[in-house]
């Protein structure tokens, strides 16, 4: 069935013969299916006619396109279907009959009302892998509660840990969506592997809340068994010291991290030139250093005061102490490591060529598919023709789908 958008030959990629039908919107599910597309899967994204995935309208910052949509929808085919119209629904059923994976993150209960619940689909298509991505899971008092990224972060306790003593802060990226998307992605890969052995598909479910709850494991154990609530620490590490940002004489800042006693000794002796700090009772081990972090910070910044940030970074590198500069997004874009490793690629979009990064997982000898971001409904006619009803025509299928009431 695989015939990727743009006719690009992808047989060498790991998922070249896998077809995914995605009834998806926003960030989490699209992020998962984009990973599959990058590995060569054919991802057919079903959108509402005239409106599409509402993430298309989040902003206009990428040549008039939504930065969110561009980020998570590269390499897919967009098919605009009204699932309350008989012809369009029949077309979706034909797609599913030949698909390997079905992913949906509609509002709670919507897939079931459309006859697209996992039990119903797998009864008809035993080899189909279904994945339902929800906000809070299929049961419990929050089952029907609307779930958006920042709100899930709040419910999972993450926002209580970000920011500084004055106020909490939202992390700069969509952490709950990314967590949910990555568990969806890895769950699907696991199910595909299992199907190779058993011949049977399976039903997966992932919730944003559960995904982020897993990522809250360290704070949970630290507070539940540590005897005191955790507090916000800004850009400093809440458990390790020294680990954070330190002012230098030119007004710049250097971030550094000491992870063990060997590194602590190297910092004191080779960078700060104060070997006596190694055995200072305030700083004898990491918990003590964290308890006296303000005093330790003052000692470090006193030594850094005569130096520029670049000079401090050189001292730290020479002593084998991990360090970093705080870069802006623009500075990250120009990062020498990305340039040296040739990580940037160009891909298409309705607004013209865009530049983006290769996916993190490298398959030796094969490069990820960096196919275009689709316009709304760009592939509808081609998919109608490819999946026309037996004995019918693409035109007849199209006419049957002309009733374009809002999808449920």
CA-nearest of 238, 231, 236, 260 to 247 is 236
Instruction: Identify the pLDDT of residue 405.
Output: 28
Instruction: Identify the pLDDT of residue 232.
Output: 86
Quick one: 303 exposed, middle or buried, by C-beta within 10 A (0-12, 13-18, 19+)? middle
DSSP 177-222: HHHHHHHHHHHHHHHHHHHHHHS---EEEEEHHHHHHHHTHHHHHH
**Angle separating helix axes 175-198 and 208-215, nearest 10 degrees:** 100
Residues β-bridged to residue 19: 42
Given the candidates 3.40.50.1220, 1.20.1420.20, 3.30.70.890, 3.40.50.10540, the CATH classification of the domain at 5-216+339-400 is 3.40.50.10540
Instruction: Identify the pLDDT of residue 187.
Output: 98
pLDDT lower than 50: segments of the chain: 3-11, 393-408
Tell me if 147 sits within 8 A of 154, measured CB to CB: no
d(CA 72, CA 29): 9
Instruction: Identify the pLDDT of residue 1.
Output: 54
Quick one: 152 exposed, middle or buried, by C-beta within 10 A (0-12, 13-18, 19+)? buried
CATH 3.30.1540.10 range(s) for the chain read 243-326
Strands 243-247 and 203-207: unpaired
d(CA 319, CA 254): 15
CATH 3.40.50.10540 range(s) for the chain read 5-216+339-400
Q: Which fold has domain 243-326?
A: formyl-coa transferase, domain 3 (3.30.1540)
Compute φ and ψ for 346, nearest 5 degrees: -105, 140
Predicted confidence (pLDDT) per residue in 35-87, tens digit: 999 999 999 999 999 999 999 999 999 999 999 999 999 999 999 999 999 99
Tell me if 196 sits within 8 A of 122, measured CB to CB: no
CA-nearest of 33, 181, 184, 173 to 99 is 33
Could you give the residue numbers annotated as active site? 237
What's the pTM?
A: 0.88
d(CA 130, CA 396): 29
């Amino acid at each position: 069935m695989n015939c990727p958008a743009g006719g690009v030959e992808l047989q060498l990629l790991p998922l070249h013969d896998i077809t995914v039908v995605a009834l998806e919107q926003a960030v989490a599910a699209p992020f998962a299916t984009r990973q599959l597309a990058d590995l060569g899967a054919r991802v057919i994204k079903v959108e509402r006619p005239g409106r599409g995935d509402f993430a298309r309208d989040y902003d206009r910052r990428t040549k008039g396109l939504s930065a969110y949509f561009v980020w998570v929808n590269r390499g897919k085919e967009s098919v605009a279907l009204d699932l309350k119209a008989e012809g369009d629904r029949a077309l979706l059923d034909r797609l599913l009959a030949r698909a390997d994976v079905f992913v949906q993150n509609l509002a709670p209960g919507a897939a079931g009302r459309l006859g697209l619940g996992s039990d119903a689909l797998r009864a008809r298509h035993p080899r189909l892998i279904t994945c339902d991505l929800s906000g809070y899971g299929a049961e419990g008092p929050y089952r029907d509660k609307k779930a958006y990224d920042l709100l899930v972060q709040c419910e999972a306790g993450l926002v209580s840990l970000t920011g500084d003593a004055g106020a909490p802060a939202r992390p700069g990226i969509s952490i709950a969506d990314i967590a949910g998307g990555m568990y969806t992605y890895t769950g699907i890969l696991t199910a595909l592997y299992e199907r190779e052995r058993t011949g049977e598909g399976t039903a997966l479910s992932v919730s944003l809340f559960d995904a982020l709850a897993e990522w809250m494991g360290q704070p949970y154990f630290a507070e539940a068994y540590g005897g005191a609530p955790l507090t916000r620490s800004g850009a400093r590490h809440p458990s390790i010291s020294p680990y954070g940002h330190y002012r230098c004489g030119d007004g710049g800042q250097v971030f550094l991290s000491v992870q063990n006693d060997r590194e602590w000794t190297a910092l004191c002796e080779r960078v700060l030139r104060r070997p006596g700090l190694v055995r200072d009772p305030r700083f004898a081990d990491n918990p003590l250093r964290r308890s006296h972090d303000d005093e330790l910070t003052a000692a470090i910044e006193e030594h850094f005061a005569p130096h520029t940030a670049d000079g401090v970074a050189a001292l730290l590198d020479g002593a084998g102490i991990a360090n970093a500069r705080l870069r802006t997004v623009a500075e990250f874009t120009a990062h020498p490591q990305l340039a040296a490793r040739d990580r940037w690629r160009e891909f298409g979009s309705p607004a013209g060529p865009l530049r983006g990064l290769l996916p993190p997982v490298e398959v030796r000898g094969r490069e990820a598919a960096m196919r275009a971001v689709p316009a709304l409904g760009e592939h509808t006619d081609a998919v109608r023709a490819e999946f026309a009803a037996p004995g019918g025509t693409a035109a007849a299928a199209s006419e049957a789908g002309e009733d374009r009431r809002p999808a449920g």
